[in-house]
Amino acid sequence: MQLTSEQVATFLLSISLMLLMAKLFGELFTKMKQPAIIGEIIAGILLGPTVLGMLSPDTFNWLFPSDTSLKVALDGITTLAVVLLLLVSGLEVDLSVVLKYRRTALSTSVVGIIVPFAMGFGLSYLYPQLMGLTNPDMRLVFSLFIGTAISISSLPIIAKILIDLKIFKTQIGFIIISAAMLNDVIGWLIFSLILGMMDAAGHGFTFAETLFLTLFFVLVVLLVIRRFTNKAVPWIQNNLSFPGGILNFILILGFIGAAFTEFIGIHAILGAFILGIAIGDSVHLKEQTREIIQQFITNIFAPLFFVSIGLRVNFIENFDLSIVLILLILAFVGKVTGCGLGAKLGGLKKNDALAVGFGMSSSGAMGIIIGLLALQYGLIENNLFVGLVIMALFTSMTGAPLMNFFLKERKKYSLENLLNPQLTFYTDVNTKEEIIDFLSGIAGKNLKSNSVEISKEVLAREKTNATGIANYLAIPHARIKSSRPIIITAINKKGIDFDSSDKTPSKIIILLLTPLGENELQLRLLAEIVKKFRDKEKVEELLNIKNEKEFIEKLKK
Amino acid sequence: MQLTSEQVATFLLSISLMLLMAKLFGELFTKMKQPAIIGEIIAGILLGPTVLGMLSPDTFNWLFPSDTSLKVALDGITTLAVVLLLLVSGLEVDLSVVLKYRRTALSTSVVGIIVPFAMGFGLSYLYPQLMGLTNPDMRLVFSLFIGTAISISSLPIIAKILIDLKIFKTQIGFIIISAAMLNDVIGWLIFSLILGMMDAAGHGFTFAETLFLTLFFVLVVLLVIRRFTNKAVPWIQNNLSFPGGILNFILILGFIGAAFTEFIGIHAILGAFILGIAIGDSVHLKEQTREIIQQFITNIFAPLFFVSIGLRVNFIENFDLSIVLILLILAFVGKVTGCGLGAKLGGLKKNDALAVGFGMSSSGAMGIIIGLLALQYGLIENNLFVGLVIMALFTSMTGAPLMNFFLKERKKYSLENLLNPQLTFYTDVNTKEEIIDFLSGIAGKNLKSNSVEISKEVLAREKTNATGIANYLAIPHARIKSSRPIIITAINKKGIDFDSSDKTPSKIIILLLTPLGENELQLRLLAEIVKKFRDKEKVEELLNIKNEKEFIEKLKK
């Protein structure tokens, strides 16, 4: 069996059409501040049986024939695509962040799984017909699947939303991302076990064997392989061609992991995902390598996969309003209350907890992937698959605005927003007192409060504990009577003595004033400022900049 | 038809094995200063019927079954791989370089095709059985094919050899690369027409129609689409997500071009190659984009393709010594005399012309690709295919050492080799005369000749025509009695007035002394130095460096 020349031509044409439509609609949705994946799936619906198949069945069947080797070739590509997509998602998981916020993250993800899982499982078990179950023998597995589908979150979509809202690298961003990572790992484990229970893969392993092998695999990869790769990565980068050696290493390990999990009766993507975590955890992995893999996979392979979703079923014929509504209600109520409650139990305030709840509600890519697998294994019908895709699209679209609503307060006071070129000055004064007077004067004017008092507070703080930090930075600060925080930046090329730990004079002096009582805010902003000055080279580059706007832009990076 | 779970697992496993073996042997050959492709093909021979198939037929048939949908899925991937490989090869073609060296390049490539083509065609037409022709009806097409296979050069291998020999960006490097690019274009056109004559693709176009459509396609792409993409590239980079937008644009256009050429009865790769040339010609295309595409394709897709070569036939069973010897003789004698003669006619000296001849003798990847297509279309038998692969491997291995032998003289005097940290100095002097005296003193000591005379010569030259160039550079120079050229570099942060065109003082002063009579050498080195100082930002970075070694390293980049 071999592809004929005509099949090769059609194959290339359909791939280019899929990429073209995916890109067009992906960009359109990006412009509308929505995740690109929504546009990519809609592109598939347009190219698939739903629209093109209705308008011109001949063209559709010619481009995407269902019974020739062409379909197999395309299947091969989309299989690779989804495995690579999960490998990249795994690479993005940062275990150290998860560990740092483990309490809140664990409570958010565990409660955030239990509540929606219970709701989804309960409803489907009690009223299986409502969700479209056709084979009564499958009632238990089916209900377990619905529970999982409702409780899964989509790491890539959530990361994208956090980046768009500019809170990716803030405390709440880290909490959400860690919770989403844990959710992914737990969700995939449960789902893999469901597949194992169905003996879907049909490799003759019993459920217990699959369970054991899965846990064994996860532990070996995260405990042994992770350490091995951490040692192997620098060796490969130093001794083999770069970046070719390391690119191959990542893909080879990912594919082997994927093949292994597929063999033991769960799906290939779990293997790719877990290996991605293990490899991505290495601190030696260079940014350039991540960049090449990430860009190629998220821009080429991922769109191909998401477009292929729309090619599989007719979204109009299989649209079932009641299923869609039930899924949406379950997703929102279950995820938001579950994750919100978990976050609150984990120590967050009410508004922040709600923001976390809405942030975690996007089931996005992951919801679609497990929906597709369930469809392929005959566990669910087309109508439920369509419902799951719509649920994924809808929750991905609402995630950002709803989260934004509850974060307004917090966002306003992010370091990002407080750093302002108009509150940045190049000065020439010589002493600590002069510079603090100068900065306090500007702060007083802006906050409409007494500059002299501000100056006094700051100097008092300075006397008890000098605020010079290494790498030319000083952060004089105080808590004052004010309704909002403010940051004023001065750049003084001569340098002023602030008793810094590395004994060098401070050339960048950042005055930080926060409202009385907002202790957490002050500490958070201080920590974030210090973090920006960790890299001495970057600070030296900052000092070479000659205008306020560029300075602040570079500082924000 | 759909891939079963077991097939998916096997598919992933065989791909990871192919990548692993390709990487292992590719790196091994890289370490031995040989092109990686040789290792990749050997990896395929080891995994294929030749070795693994002999040692353990069961394992081989399980990993690479020949009659299931798995083969089709793998076929889909290798088809994509070879199309992408040619797209990247096209991106690397630099039309402006070809235009600049058009006379020598054209004469090298045209004579370099005519001579081996005539030899290959003549021999095969007169003694077809010798080359293993089995179907006498195909005598003409078969002989045309042999002629083409003998005359084709491998752009990627040649580029790799030039980079390894560190002459990629020298005049002779540019001539070889331009000639190789033209050779590729002409060779592929001839080969496409042969396929058209065979009606191999079977789309019912006559030979004349295919010929017309091919020429029409090439002209439209190079004249119209090239201008369109040159305008589209900056628009896409500015308005769509980066680098996602531009990555997709390149792949979509490449696939459409590939699909078109496949439809009109020639092969997909010609379309991808020509579109690659058109897109790569845009000056707006960012380095980062080229990097991502290039790294992913040459490190992942290309190895998959080259490994798959070895999977196709048994290299021991189909080894035919007489065919291999005839092909090797034809390739060496035909290519070296043809290209060497062409280069001589184009104005090169004897040794340089011979270096060009040996440089162009590598048929590498291209020879293998057209061999594979001829095999698939039934034009040649396994034994000739094996012969062509061995010819490609052998010529790729000998290219570098043979070329090096004839370039020894020239290489010694490359800018790369003449720039030396030990001949680089930070100085503080104030006048043009002082710095020239200082540099001449060092030159005199190194060349064991009279410093005072050197200084006089340089100052005389300086009086007739000041040598200050923009961007802080000055290149005082002279032709002197000496057997070899020398370059001495001074960095003077204060700057010295050398009447530079941008009125700024010169801070980097490079003394260039070349032997009397070597006019071309002087001009070449001057041009190469000036080129290194085109980018003002780079020069400013150079000036920030504080030690000689780093300075020269950065300058060489």
What is the Cα B554 distance to its own chain's centre? 24
Q: Is the pLDDT of residue A201 over 60?
A: no
- What is the least distance, in Å, from the CA of A95 to any CA of chain B? 26
Non-local (6+) Cβ contacts of B352 within 8 A are B172, B343, B406, B407, B410
Q: Is the pLDDT of residue B168 over 80?
A: no
CA separation for the pair B539, B527 (Å, rounded): 16
pLDDT for residue B388 = 93
CATH 3.40.720.10 fits A83-300+318-409, yes or no: no
Q: Which residues pair with A491 in a beta bridge?
A: A426, A508
A53: left (phi over 0), alpha (psi -120 to 50) or beta: alpha
- What is the least distance, in Å, from the CA of B6 to any CA of chain A? 7
> B293-327: per-residue pLDDT in tens?
888 888 888 899 889 888 988 999 999 999 999 99
CA angle A399, A401, A407 (to 5 degrees): 100
Q: Is the pLDDT of residue B465 over 90?
A: no
Contact A296 B291 (CB under 8 A): no
A364: left (phi over 0), alpha (psi -120 to 50) or beta: left
Contact B19 A299 (CB under 8 A): no
- What is the least distance, in Å, from the CA of A164 to any CA of chain B? 13
Contact A300 B248 (CB under 8 A): yes
Return the residue of B nearest to A203 by Cα: B6
The tokens for A133 are: 């179950």
Contact A83 B245 (CB under 8 A): no
| Percent of chain B scoring above 70 in pLDDT | 96
- The partner residue sitting opposite A12, judged by closest CB among B73, B259, B291, is B259
In our burial notation (b when 16+ CB lie closer than 10 A, e otherwise), range A13-47 reads bbbbbbbbbbbebbbebbeeebbbbbbbbbbbbbb
pLDDT for residue B203 = 58
Under 8 Å CB pairs connecting chains A and B tally to 199
Contact B252 A30 (CB under 8 A): no
- What is the least distance, in Å, from the CA of A209 to any CA of chain B? 17
> A113-153: per-residue pLDDT in tens?
999 999 999 999 999 888 888 888 888 999 999 999 999 88
Task: Collect all residues of chain A within an 8 Å Cβ-Cβ radius of residue B201.
Answer: 5-6
Question: Pseudo-torsion of CA A175, A176, A180, A183, nearest 10°?
Answer: 60
Nearest Cα to Cα of residue B526 among B487, B481, B492, B500: B487
Give chain A's mean pLDDT.
86
Contact B295 A77 (CB under 8 A): no
Helix (H) or strand (E) holding B480: strand B477-480
- The partner residue sitting opposite B16, judged by closest CB among A11, A256, A295, is A256
φ, ψ dihedrals at B495, nearest 5°:
95, 140
Residues B485 and B502: beta-carbon distance below 8 Å? no
Neighbour tally for B541: CB within 10 Å: 11
| Confidence band for A67, pLDDT divided at 50, 70 and 90 | low
Q: Is the pLDDT of residue B202 over 60?
A: no
> A446-485: per-residue pLDDT in tens?
888 888 889 998 888 888 887 888 888 899 998 888 878 8
Q: What is the pTM of this model?
A: 0.73
Neighbour tally for A456: CB within 10 Å: 14
Among A46-60, A64-78, B253-267, the least confident range: A64-78
Nearest Cα to Cα of residue A495 among A548, A445, A428: A428
Q: What is the mean pLDDT of residues A420-439?
A: 89
- The partner residue sitting opposite B19, judged by closest CB among A23, A203, A252, is A252
Q: Is the pLDDT of residue A254 over 70?
A: yes
Q: Is the pLDDT of residue A188 over 70?
A: yes
pLDDT for residue A200 = 53
Q: What is the mean pLDDT of residues B350-361?
A: 87
- The partner residue sitting opposite B76, judged by closest CB among A9, A11, A249, is A11
Residues B1 and A69: beta-carbon distance below 8 Å? yes
Q: Is the pLDDT of residue B416 over 60?
A: yes
> B515-542: per-residue pLDDT in tens?
886 766 787 788 788 888 888 888 888 8
Contact B13 A72 (CB under 8 A): no
Contact B299 A243 (CB under 8 A): yes
Return the residue of A nearest to B36 by Cα: A241
- What is the least distance, in Å, from the CA of A414 to any CA of chain B? 26
Mutate to test the interface with A, among B40, B47, B75, B78 (most CBs of A within 10 A): B75
| Percent of chain B scoring above 90 in pLDDT | 28
Q: What is the mean pLDDT of residues B107-124?
A: 94
> B50-100: per-residue pLDDT in tens?
999 999 999 998 888 876 778 888 888 888 888 898 888 888 777 777 787
| Confidence band for B116, pLDDT divided at 50, 70 and 90 | very high
Task: Collect all residues of chain A within an 8 Å Cβ-Cβ radius of residue B83.
Answer: 12
Give chain B's mean pLDDT.
86
Q: Is the pLDDT of residue B267 over 70?
A: yes
DSSP state of A504: P
pLDDT for residue B171 = 73
> B428-457: per-residue pLDDT in tens?
888 888 899 999 989 888 888 888 889 998
| Confidence band for A204, pLDDT divided at 50, 70 and 90 | low
CA separation for the pair A461, A480 (Å, rounded): 12
| Confidence band for B108, pLDDT divided at 50, 70 and 90 | very high
pLDDT for residue B213 = 87
Q: What is the mean pLDDT of residues B41-58?
A: 93
> B221-259: per-residue pLDDT in tens?
999 999 999 999 999 888 888 888 899 999 999 999 999
Residues B192 and B270: beta-carbon distance below 8 Å? yes
| Confidence band for B411, pLDDT divided at 50, 70 and 90 | low
Give the fold, CATH level 3, of A415-556.
Mannitol-specific EII; Chain A (3.40.930)
pLDDT for residue A224 = 95
- What is the least distance, in Å, from the CA of A395 to any CA of chain B? 23
Which residue carries 């989309």 as its tokens?
A78
The tokens for B204 are: 């019912």
Enumerate the domain spans of chain B. 83-300+318-409, 415-556
Return the residue of A nearest to B298 by Cα: A244
DSSP state of A265: T
> B388-406: per-residue pLDDT in tens?
999 998 988 888 888 878 8
Residues A175 and A108: beta-carbon distance below 8 Å? yes
> A262-310: per-residue pLDDT in tens?
888 777 877 898 899 899 888 888 888 888 888 888 888 889 988 988 8
Contact B9 A263 (CB under 8 A): yes
DSSP, collapsed to helix, strand or coil, labels residue B509 as strand
Task: Collect all residues of chain B within an 8 Å Cβ-Cβ radius of residue A68.
Answer: 1
Contact B71 A2 (CB under 8 A): yes
Task: Collect all residues of chain A within an 8 Å Cβ-Cβ radius of residue B4.
Answer: 202
| Confidence band for A2, pLDDT divided at 50, 70 and 90 | low
Task: Collect all residues of chain B within an 8 Å Cβ-Cβ radius of residue A23.
Answer: 240, 244-245, 248-249, 252
Task: Collect all residues of chain A within an 8 Å Cβ-Cβ radius of residue B71.
Answer: 1-2
Residues A123 and A56: beta-carbon distance below 8 Å? no
CA separation for the pair B361, B187 (Å, rounded): 14
> A356-411: per-residue pLDDT in tens?
898 888 887 788 888 988 888 888 999 999 999 999 989 888 888 888 888 776 66
| Confidence band for B466, pLDDT divided at 50, 70 and 90 | confident
- The partner residue sitting opposite B72, judged by closest CB among A3, A5, A291, is A3
Contact B295 A247 (CB under 8 A): yes
pLDDT for residue A203 = 58
Return the residue of B nearest to A27 by Cα: B240
